[in-house]
Amino acid sequence: MALWSGRFEDSPSEFAQAFGASLETDLNMIHEDLAGSAAHARMLGEQGIISPEDAQAILEGLEAIHHSMHDGTFEVDPAVDEDIHMAIERILTERIGEAGARLHTGRSRNDQVALDTRMMAANLADEIWRALWTLEGVLISLAKDYDDVVMPGYTHLQHAQPVLFSHHMLAYFWMFARDFDRITEAYNQATLNPLGAAALAGTSYPIDRSKVAEDLGLPGVIPNSLDAVSDRDFLLDLEYACAVAMMHLSRLCEEIILWSTQEFNFISLPDTWSTGSSIMPQKKNPDFAELVRGKTGRVVGDLVGLLVLMKGLPLAYNKDMQECKEGALDAATTLSDCLLVMAGMLADITVNAEVMEAAAAQGFTAATDVADYLAKRGMPFREAHEVVGKLVLDCEKRGIGLEDLTLEDLKAASDLFDDDILGTLDVRSVVEARTSFGGTSSASVAQQLEFAEERLAQMRSLVE
């Protein structure tokens, strides 16, 4: 019999009850529900709302349920239990008697599930923090291990200017650092106490919501009872942060997939993070990178699903909101798994430095430096751009590179060229010329690495 059955003369069919239940998903929140119930019971006892004896019996009963989860004796009954909240209350009452029925004093499932979901979201954010921190450490290690490797930088997937491989890896470090910040904001939004809002309007019992928050280690209380039970913005924050992080992973995976092709051959993937073909013996496929790229779609879908779920709901609680938890669980666990996959894969890649540097010398990647050379000698940059563009066109017709031009070839294009131009056309000179803050020169990247390591240390303080 349902705990709310008093008003009803008939019960939903078995199918309808199964359709309306959320027990399977709610099992992911059992620890949160036990912790929230214990804090609520302590507060009820301290406030004199229930007797100290009942409060103690409830706490001991909840602790016993917690132990039964670990020894395998905890069992829910899908035929009776709609959700984890009712399952725990039923088992508690069966075990300790009438005192168990007093646990729900001054609260509703509406504020109870809001608390559980918030605590679940905070715990999911904590797992993502750890996975992000692990990946960030791998990116820094790659940047340090291959700090002298030059590769082509691209725009429109065309050779643009040479950059250091370490500079490229650090670009992803800063992407994921922003993801860390977004996850942190989602965590901060989740860790506010809704308990005490009851169904929607608060309660007439002399509860102390701040005491419950303090007991659970939450920094504050949601000030509006309607908002407390109807808000799921914290899940939107979490799923948005997950979707953006997955998008960043997908971009990195796309490059790994391209770089591991025979056409690029910039990197070699470890056997442990590759698969073969059932028909072609020679194949070594980047399946794990492709899977991460593919899983991005489901996480974006989780975010869109929650946005659509919430868009038409009037205040306060609506049964639609039962559907909010699965997407958040899926998005967060998918992201955590993908971050760990990426960290493991990147930690063992082989960087083919000679191939990268040879590619960096192709595609006229020194052209901007040649134009800058003329501009520094007084030629307007737009005119210099025109001059160098014609030089590139001439080189293409002759099948040579800018570095193959003689001083006579260059002077024919502009008298401003002098013999010092010849030492600036190799890719390493082009890289080392980029000394601006955040640039790709060795000195600039070394400075950026210091900032990145400081940022990683800040992340560690949250992870630990």
State the residue for tokens 């000179």: 429
State the residue for tokens 């050779």: 159
**Interior/surface letters 393-406, b for 16+ CB within 10 angstroms, e for the rest:** eebeeeeebbeebe
Active-site choice (11, 141, 277, 429): 277
Q: What topology is assigned to 13-105 in CATH?
A: Fumarase C; Chain B, domain 1 (1.10.275)
Domain with CATH 1.20.200.10 in the chain: 110-204+224-355
Architecture of domain 360-463: Orthogonal Bundle (1.10)
Domain with CATH 1.10.40.30 in the chain: 360-463
Going residue by residue through the chain (464 aa), what tens digit of pLDDT does each one get? 555 556 656 666 667 766 766 778 888 999 999 999 999 999 999 999 999 999 999 999 999 999 988 887 788 888 778 888 889 999 999 999 999 999 999 999 999 999 999 999 999 999 999 999 999 999 999 999 999 999 999 999 999 999 999 999 999 999 999 999 999 999 999 999 999 999 999 999 999 999 999 999 999 999 999 999 999 999 999 999 999 999 999 999 999 999 999 999 999 999 899 888 888 888 889 999 999 999 999 999 999 999 999 999 999 999 999 999 999 999 999 999 999 999 999 999 999 999 999 999 888 888 888 899 999 999 999 999 999 999 999 999 999 988 888 999 999 999 999 988 887 788 999 999 999 999 999 999 999 999 999 999 999 988 87
Architecture of domain 110-204+224-355: Up-down Bundle (1.20)
- The verdict on pTM exceeding 0.85 is yes
Nearest one of 307, 301, 295 to 339, comparing CA atoms: 295
Quick check: is 277 catalytic?
yes
Quick check: is 461 catalytic?
no
Active-site choice (156, 204, 436, 461): 156
Residues 6+ apart with CB under 8 A from 54: 45, 99, 102
- HSE-up of 377 (CA within 13 Å, CB side)? 15
Per-position DSSP letters for 81-117, written without gaps between them: -SSHHHHHHHHHHHHHGGGGGGTTTT--HHHHHHHHH
d(CA 158, CA 141): 27
Partner residues linked to 151 by β-bridges: 163
Residues 6+ apart with CB under 8 A from 326: 25
For 263-340, strand residue ranges (E) read: 267-268
